Amino acid sequence: MYRLFCNDLNKIRNLNLYRNFRPFRASNHSHFHTSVANVADKIAYRVLKFGLASSVVGGLGYFGYSNDLFPLLFKIPLEQADEDSFDSMDNLAVVILNSKKDYPRKTVELLRSMLPEGVNLYYSVKKSNQEGAMVMVCKGMRKKYFPLANLSNDSALDEIKNELEVFFKPISQEVYILNNERVPEYVSYKDFQSRVVDLATQDNPIILQMFEDSCFLCFLIRPFINSINKHLISIEHPIRIKRLNVELNDFPKGCPVTRATPTFIFFNGQRNGVKWEEFKPQDFVRKLSEVGNLSENSKAYLTELCEKISERFALFGKLAHWLSESQRLQDLMLKRYSPEYELASDEDMYSRSINILMDIDMKKSDNLEENLVNLKNEIESAEKDCIAIAEMLAQEILESEESSE
């Protein structure tokens, strides 16, 4: 700093001499030194003012940093998570703050030291009624929350560290019991590399359907995909369809991360699959026809299948209606013998019927044509059951009224 100061002083002196060049006189000697002294005082004052300001700001910054008081003018040393990073990345830990000024530096550093290798740490700002910062850990479709305040409890540190290690261990289901020739092959986290990546080639590509049992669209197109798979086999087409349940399996290496289902991934011998944007039945058929170079007959058949999905939807709703009505009548009969029994609302009853039927349906292996026939038979049976229960309830009411008279 002193060397720079002297250099600046010499520059000013030379500039002053150049601008005021004239024969040197003794009378000018004192004026020159006075001028240079004034300039030097001004420079020294500015240097001193800048140094004091830097010291104050730096001191406050260090005090805030070392005491977990992060002013807004300091940048949080983590990347901020957004929807794109969340939807496309796996193995995440996200510190959730009510505001940026609440960033707990020491606690986050402790959290970082506890995370298993390969876990990416981010932060996000989200207003909530929860006091204090939280951390959300995410692997696959799984999430878990921890209050950061718990890390200040020495007795809880080992327990939380063990929970994090267990959480980030990949999960894989046993799929051998699910596979049969009637449906697309199920794959798991463990056998994904050998059953998908290693087998897929340019001439024999594989389409992976990522699904969830609780996803309504996944449920709706289940027999539709079975029919497509059956058709591809029947025409001896090289494309094969396989399934990965992302509720029961974490994302394997080489599989694109997605938290929207259903999602279709195309593998053709490359290290990583290509995620298709198409997921609706009509769009999927169009994309499949394009990459598979399907014949006009195949395109017409698959288009016909798409049109039958709406029929499946209508029949399923009708079956759920009769099932919920049957259950409501049974509850009314139970209420007659147990007055304390609480009746569910019609809406809750219908939602419960939907969930039960979806759970049963996702375990089936029928194709779309077979499913439509099965649904019609189930509706007819449910309707008869409902009428029988209604007749029983009516008979009980009549007998009760006659006995009371």
Helix (H) or strand (E) holding 143: strand 142-147
Distance (Å, rounded) from C-alpha 198 to C-alpha 101? 49
Domain boundary among 167, 191, 223: 167
Give the sign of the dihedral formed by CA 354, CA 355, CA 356, CA 361.
positive
Give me the number of domains the chain comprises. Answer: 3
State the pLDDT at residue 132.
76
> Are residues 290 and 206 both part of a single domain?
yes
Residue 51, pLDDT score:
54
Q: What is the domain extent for residue 247? A: 170-405
Long-range CB pairs of 330-334 (<8 Å, 24+ gap) are 330/389, 332/393, 333/389, 333/392, 333/393, 333/396
pLDDT of residue 90: 93
Helix 222-234 / helix 296-337 crossing angle, nearest 10 deg: 150
Boundary-marking domain end, from 131, 151, 167: 167
CB-based burial, 161-174: b 16+ in 10 Å, e otherwise: beebeebbeebebe
The answer to whether residue 74 sits within a structural domain is: no
Burial-class residue 252 by CB neighbours within 10 Å (0-12, 13-18, 19+).
Answer: buried
Task: Tell me whether residue 72 is in a domain.
Answer: no
Residue 102 domain-assigned (yes or no): yes
Instruction: Kindly state whether residues 242 and 370 are assigned to the same domain.
Output: yes
Whole-prediction pTM value?
0.76
Q: For position 93, which CATH number holds?
A: 3.40.30
Shared domain check, 345 and 389: yes
Claim to verify: residue 336 and residue 388 sit in the same structural domain: yes
pLDDT for residue 2: 41
Query: Looking at this protein, which amino acid is placed at residue 353?
Result: S
Query: Is residue 71 included in any domain, yes or no?
Result: no
Strand partners, 98: none
Pair (317, 359) in one structural domain: yes
Based on the fold, state whether residues 309 and 385 are members of the same structural domain: yes
Q: Which residue, 167, 198, 225, sits at the end of a domain? A: 167
In terms of domains, do 269 and 405 share one? yes
Taking the C-alpha atoms of residue 402 and residue 405, their distance in angstroms, rounded to an integer, is 5
**Cα 331 to the chain's mean position, in Å?**
39
**What's the pLDDT score for residue 136?**
92
Same-domain pairing of 387 and 265:
yes
Among 318, 319, 310, 308, smallest CA distance to 368 is for: 308
User: Could you tell me if 351 and 283 lie in one domain?
Assistant: yes
Query: Are both 143 and 154 inside the same structural domain?
Result: yes
Low-confidence ranges of the chain (pLDDT < 70): 1-74, 129-130, 177-179, 404-405
Are residues 217 and 163 part of one domain?
Answer: no
Are residue 240 and residue 385 in the same domain, yes or no? yes
What is residue 33's predicted lDDT score, i.e. its pLDDT? 45
Cβ neighbours of residue 307 closer than 8 Å, sequence gap 6 or more? none
Q: DSSP secondary structure string, 2-23? A: HHHHHHHHHHHHHHHHHHT-S-
| Helix (H), strand (E) at residue 384 | helix 368-404
